[in-house]
Structure 1
Amino acid sequence: MKIEIKRGDAIVAYEVMHEDLTLLQLLTHIKTEQDSTLAFSSGCRSSVCGSCAMRVNGKEVLACSYKPQDGDLIEPLRNAPVLRDLVVDMDKAYAFNKVARAWGIPTPDNLHVSVKDAELNEVQSDCILCGSCYSACPVYAVNGEFIGPFALTRVWKYATDVRQSDISAAIAAVQTSGIYDCTLCNECVPVCPQGIAPKQDIVMLRNKSGVMGYMDPNFASSFGGGLTF
């Protein structure tokens, strides 16, 4: 079986004899047996930490769960600086959590949370910050400051948390380069290994913003810079 790996500006081909391995196992074999200079990231090897996210044939996957096929092209994630081979710098991507104020406000320890309440954001709580949705997002081609799908999903997680008494600061934070900059293209949804739908969360944040008095700036500008009543 032959696989190709994008290393800098070059595409390097490797012949491997092993079958029925995960991509991460295959990369480890190449590094230990064929090319010790190959660089990639890994951690838990159980699809929990998200550190082995990369692209295969143009789609984001977790290397520890993907089974490679003959002719696969392996590339680093997009929209993040490549440090070396398949390793990218996610610092700026993770910093968007701070921009979006994607954290909870301390609440009383005795506040009761029912099972139904917990289910409201159960799926969003499963985000492992692998960056797959961030890589798949086409908005970064035109706006490098876009807050991005996983940060916005985290905002919606807290917006639906009954323990949060005041989400106004977070909703205000996602108005600029945030929810209205998303094109709702759906590219982020199929690549999430946890089954999260950031597009849906962003739509819900738009609805919540409308209830709280915010308006899509693109809609407002179509009326000459604003609406008056």
Structure 2
Amino acid sequence: MEITILRGEEAHSYNVELENVTLLSVLNNIKTKIDPTLTYSHGCRSGVCGSCAVRVNGREQLMCEYKPSDGDLVEPIRNARVIRDLVVDTSSIERFNCAGMGWSESFKAENVSAEEMERIETQSDCILCTSCFSACPVYAVNPNFIGPFALTRVWRYVNDPRERDSEAKMGAIQINGIWDCTLCGACVPVCPQSIAPMQDIKILRMKSGMLGYPDPTMNFGGGFDLGGWDF
């Protein structure tokens, strides 16, 4: 089986005699037996930590779960500075989470029903693998976009009945946040946890409207004349 890895500006091809194994096993084989200079990231090997995300044939995958085929092209995730080979700088995760306040600010001490916890269970499973971040086309025009993974985390906390100040989080995602998303859906199929960030962003938009935040994509100054009414 031949695997091609994009390393900087050059594509390096490797032949390995392995079948029905994960991409991580293939890269470990290459590093230990063929090319010790190959650099990549991994952690839990169980699809939990999210540190081994890469792109395979143009789609985001976790190396510890994906089983490669002959001719596969492996490259680092997009929208992040490449440090070396398949290793990228993921410091933007912390920066965007801070911008969106994607954490618990202050919990109220109260009992929460199983139904209420089930409502936020899926979003709680985000492993910050950056797959949706890599697939998102918005970064091509707005590098300050808070991003689908951070917005999903905001959704999780503003819907937690124990959160004291969910409105502050809603205010934090109005700029470079929910309204910058194109709702293209590219983030949905690449999530290894089956989270749908696009749907979460839609709900956050509706919640914003209920709180009185205007939709900046709407043109309220068009000057339309409808039967004496100016819009």
Give the TM interval when normalised to the shorter protein.
over 0.9
* 1:99 paired residue number: 99
Q: Answer yes or no: is the 8 Å Cα contact 2:158–2:167 preserved in 1.
A: no
Describe how 1:74-223 pairs up with structure 2 within 5 A.
74-109=74-109, 111-220=110-219, 223=222
For the residue of structure 2 that corresponds to 1:102, the secondary structure is coil
TM-score where L is the length of structure 2: 0.94
Shift of residue 93, structure 1, vs aligned partner: 3.1
Cα 1:38–1:157 change in 2 (3 A) is same
Shift of residue 169, structure 1, vs aligned partner: 1.1
Shift of residue 95, structure 1, vs aligned partner: 1.1
How far apart are the structure 2 equivalents of 1:154 and 1:92? Answer: 15
Identity %: 57
Shift of residue 128, structure 1, vs aligned partner: 0.2
* 1:16 paired residue number: 16
* 2:226 paired residue number: none
Q: CA RMSD in A?
A: 1.4
Q: Answer yes or no: is the 8 Å Cα contact 1:55–1:75 preserved in 2.
A: yes
Structure 1 residue 41 corresponds to structure 2 residue 41: yes
Q: Residue 145 of structure 1 aligns to which amino acid in structure 2?
A: N
Cα 1:50–1:222 change in 2 (3 A) is farther
Shift of residue 108, structure 1, vs aligned partner: 3.8
Q: Answer yes or no: is the 8 Å Cα contact 1:80–1:93 preserved in 2.
A: no
TM-score where L is the length of structure 1: 0.95
How far apart are the structure 2 equivalents of 1:95 and 1:87? Answer: 18
Q: Number of matched residues?
A: 225
Q: Answer yes or no: is the 8 Å Cα contact 1:47–1:65 preserved in 2.
A: yes
Runs of 4+ in 1 over 2 A off after TM superposition: 105-109, 220-224
Shift of residue 103, structure 1, vs aligned partner: 1.3
